[in-house]
Amino acid sequence: MIPKTYFEFEKSLELSAVPKEWSDGLKAAWYDAKGDWESSHNIAQDMHNALGSWLHAYLHRKEGDRFNAGYWYRLANKEYPTITLDEELKVIVEYIIQN
């Protein structure tokens, strides 16, 4: 089942595998939230759109690579965030759910 709220997304983290019917963006966010940066990054780098660039930027920001993150934020047409990583993940997930 595709989450309709961030709370439902958080509850999905109890699952042992990401639901197959989810979009790539939601899968990438799920893997990151589960602590699997590599799987999340693999999905994000294969998403050739603004959301993929945003996820890619977030992941490189999380990694501590500000220069690379800045490049991806520019591609996503986003400002470099001043919010925490947890807050940004929530914003991204809510964006995916609403779109």
Task: Note down pLDDT in tens along the chain; length 99 residues.
Answer: 899 999 999 999 999 999 999 999 999 999 999 999 999 999 999 999 999 999 999 999 999 999 999 999 999 999 999 999 999 999 999 999 999
In a domain, 12, yes or no: no
In a domain, 86, yes or no: yes
Domain extent, residue 64, equals 23-98
Q: What is the pTM assigned to this prediction?
A: 0.95
Neighbours of 91 (CB within 10 A): 15
**Domain tally for the chain?**
1
In a domain, 11, yes or no: no
In a domain, 59, yes or no: yes
In a domain, 16, yes or no: no
Whether 2 contacts 19, CB under 8 Å: yes
Element (H, E) at 62: helix 50-63
Residue 81 to residues 20, 53, 69, 73, 92: CA-CA distances in angstroms? 30, 14, 10, 9, 12
Angle between helices 24-33 and 50-63 (to 10 degrees): 10
